[in-house]
Amino acid sequence: MPTLQQVLFKHLPKQVSPGKSDFNLKSSAVDQWFDSLPLANIRVSTKHIYSVIKEVNGLSCSYKKRLYFLEKIHEPLVDLASNLRRLNLNRELPLDEKHQRITRLISKMHEQISIGYKLVLKDLLNCSIFFLCSGRNKLTAQAIERIIRHHSLSLINSYQLYQMPDKGLWSDLHKLFLLAKQQKIVHKKITDPSFQLISETSIKNIYLQILLVSIADPYSMSQHHIYSIFRQLEEWAPLADIHSYQETDEKDNLFINLSEDKHPVFISPQDSSKKSQIWTLDTSKLDYAHLMEHFHNMENQTTEINVNILKQLSLAWGIVPSREHSRRPAKSKLKVAIGLNNVHYVLNGYADPEWLSNDESETGYQLSEELLETGANFSTRTVESTLKVNDIWGEVFTSKTLLNMTEKETTLNNSDTGGPEHPDSHKYWNMVNESICGYCLQWEQKGSINAKVGEILAISHEEDKKEGYWFVGTIRWIKCVDDHKIQAGIQILAPNAIAVSTAKYSSMQEGIKSRAILLPAIPVLKQPKTLITTGLGYEVRDQVILYEYRLVNANITRVKSKVVLLDTLEVTAHFSRFKYLPAEEFYGTDQNKSPSKKAQYDTLSLDGDSDFDSIWDDL
């Protein structure tokens, strides 16, 4: 049976003696080369660093020279990869060809520097003469930590795009941790300048950091939350612990198998014949109470981590998830409308609300005309990805005038802000399987789709009918099956939803109307009537004017009523879901409130490397 070292170093490249034309690894030459790098120029510095890492990995040299070079570029490479990673966020999935190449480039950058550190690690482990490898334990721990760091960032790159990790990454991570355990350096303190919240870590803590992110199921998180949790675990990972399985471990503990090259999942020890590969994960200090305590003690409070995220994390790290309802295979095409605007549109009979043209002509369009007259600049969506652009950083940092917007950009922006659109309000998805509470859907058509975790959607089985029966649900997870297919897990919230309009009522004045969805009560599930609003702008105890159409005396009539928002059932980046009561019913049952409390409710505030050749000039 091969040893840990044999497996880890199996695919390292062969080294040749450096020639005169090869990269000079003397420290003075490395310093000179590094100082000449235009790090502000992402395109040039990325290309140079990537090509030099590959070259150096093929040259034989002492581990000290190699380590000096790698340490010089370790932090800059993390920053470059982070900037590249941002280019692929908040885009429709699957990514187009150019951004798929950027994704592969990020993975290759982390892979190549990891190979360099593996070569250093191999030389250190093979060094048997003490005076030739002074400080061996410290450097060995440093090399292992750096490899785990770059493997972790490569995994985050995949998770943020809902892709499956590269083959061998998890196997490497497990074996590196076991090797550190074998060398008795798993607790050794290591300084790493690439961290944001801490200055030093240990192999155990950095391993637990990526392990906990993966166990929290990143496929069910929004893209920005995935990295925020990963970064916050720089501080929180030491709250967890991991040790080899013992028969005395409690049944309520969490167990994982470190022999597999796949996304870590909790298992039962009885399910494995090789108990030596099972490790116990202690997350008792990552329950909701402990997380809230650390959340309030955070020096830098962030909106990225909130109470809802903490609840989700405490459940993921504390309870082995089990499916309440089994799924059964199913094949059919479904009409799917994604986003509050599109859901409202299809529920409203493929029509915009009558107030939209009046209100938006008085607000949104006048604003646009004013901006056009003044020539104001502001960021818009990126240009068509199929067009050749000289500098894709211009897509992020270069503002555009409204006058230069393409017709498609205008349509997309109107879709986001409530303007008229909807020639393409729904798409056709294939059903993979279904359960009582939801579906697994697959997008496998040409082009990409604007599907995001936490987005509201509507589903109809009546493929050929314009008017139909729509279920309203939300996207709980997304996975990219390959470069051209994505799967999404859908939870159905309610049938028979109604498209309504809402306006905040504050200081005796009615605010601007916005789209909203009214979900009926489901007594069998003990689910009350709820209201889905935009992600921002509404809070608990807000008074809201509700506009809905009802059948009154055989006529469809618009009815205006006032309601009060109660508990928040769900908040995502895309919508909020509230319980509510009619205002007269709320205040009628609220007589025990003090006058000051009631007054408070009356006045409410508004609140292969050849693939990369074609993208170097685009960076």
- Tell me the pLDDT tens digit for each residue of 523-552: 877 788 999 999 888 999 999 999 987 666
Q: Which of 204, 236, 268 is the last residue of a domain?
A: 236
Residues 21 and 66 in one domain: yes
126: nearest Cα among 112, 143, 111: 143
pLDDT digit string, tens, across residues 68-123: 999 999 999 999 999 999 999 989 888 888 999 999 999 999 999 999 999 999 99
Lowest mean pLDDT among 23-27, 58-62, 125-129, 225-229: 125-129
Same domain, 74 and 213: yes
Annotate 318-383 with DSSP letters as a single string. Answer: HS----SS--EE---EEEEEESHHHHHHHHTTS---THHHHHHHHTHHHHHHHHHHHT-EE--PPP
- Here the tokens at position 106 are 């990020």
Contact assessment for residue 61 and residue 25, using Cβ atoms and an 8 Å cutoff = yes
Count CA atoms closer than 13 A to 297's CA, side-chain side.
8
Do residues 157 and 45 both lie within one domain?
yes
In terms of Cβ atoms closer than 10 Å to its own Cβ (0-12, 13-18, 19+), residue 150 is buried
CATH number at residue 484: 2.40.10.220
Distance in angstroms (rounded) separating the CA atoms of residues 475 and 13: 43
- The mean pLDDT of 159-172, rounded to a whole number, is 93
Predicted TM-score of the model (pTM): 0.75
Residue 378 has pLDDT above 50, yes or no: no
Other C-beta atoms closer than 10 Å to the C-beta of 386 total 8
- Report residue 413's pLDDT band, with 50, 70 and 90 as the boundaries: very low
- 190 and 62 housed in the same domain: yes
Same domain for 127 and 8: yes
309 part of a folded domain: no
For 518, the domain range is 498-602
Q: What is the pLDDT of residues 340-368, one digit of tens each?
A: 999 999 998 888 887 776 544 433 333 33
Distance, CA of 614 to CA of 619 (rounded, Å)? 10
The answer to whether the Cα torsion of 356, 359, 360, 364 is positive or negative is negative
Lowest-confidence region among 53-57, 214-218, 418-422, 573-577: 418-422
Is 552 inside any structural domain?
yes
Q: Give 30 or 463, the one with higher predicted confidence.
A: 30
Question: Of 276-290, 500-514, 529-543, 599-613, which gets the smallest average pLDDT?
Answer: 599-613
- Residue 591: pLDDT band (50, 70, 90) is very low
pLDDT-based confidence at residue 146 (cuts at 50, 70, 90): very high
- Of the candidates 468, 496, 524, which is a domain's last residue? 496
In a domain, 396, yes or no: yes
The pLDDT assigned to 75 comes to 96
**CA terminus-to-terminus distance, the chain:** 45
Domains held by the chain: number: 4
35 and 111 co-located in one domain: yes
Cβ atoms 280, 253 nearer than 8 A:
yes
- Per the domain annotation, does 257 fall within a domain? no
Greatest mean pLDDT among 139-153, 391-405, 554-568: 139-153
Higher pLDDT, 500 or 249: 500
pLDDT at 366: 36
99 shares a domain with 39: yes
Residue 566: give its domain's CATH number.
2.40.10
CA 360-371-536 angle, 5° bins: 50
Mean pLDDT of 582-610: 55
More confident residue, 70 or 269: 70
The arithmetic mean of pLDDT across residues 283-310, rounded, is: 78
User: Hey, what are 28's tokens?
Assistant: 């003075």
Supply 421's token pair: 């659109």
**Shared domain check, 413 and 487:** no
Does any domain span residue 279?
Answer: no
Q: Is residue 212 part of a domain?
A: yes
106 and 172: one domain? yes
Residue 260 lies in a domain: no
**Range ranked top by mean pLDDT from 272-281, 355-364, 373-382:** 272-281
Same-domain pairing of 180 and 221:
yes
Does residue 297 form part of some domain?
A: no
Q: Are residues 105 and 58 in the same domain?
A: yes
Statement: residue 399 has pLDDT above 80: no
Position with higher pLDDT, 361 vs 590:
590
Query: What is the percentage of the chain residues whose pLDDT exceeds 90?
Result: 43
The rounded distance, in Å, linking the Cα atoms of 372 and 384 is: 22
Nearest C-alpha neighbor of 395 from the set 383, 385, 403, 407: 383
**The domain boundary residue, chosen from 378, 406, 421:** 421
The per-residue pLDDT of the chain, averaged, comes to 80
What's the CA gap between 461 and 291, in Å, rounded?
42
Backbone φ, ψ for residue 182 (5° rounding):
-65, -35
User: How confident is the model over 203-222, as pLDDT tens digits?
Assistant: 999 999 999 999 988 998 88
Does 129 lie in the same domain as 66? yes
Res. 464 pLDDT band, cuts 50 70 90: low
pLDDT higher at 617 or 417:
617
> H or E segment at 130?
none
- Model pLDDT, residue 368: 35
Say if residues 124 and 8 touch (Cβ distance below 8 Å): no
- Res. 196 pLDDT band, cuts 50 70 90: very high
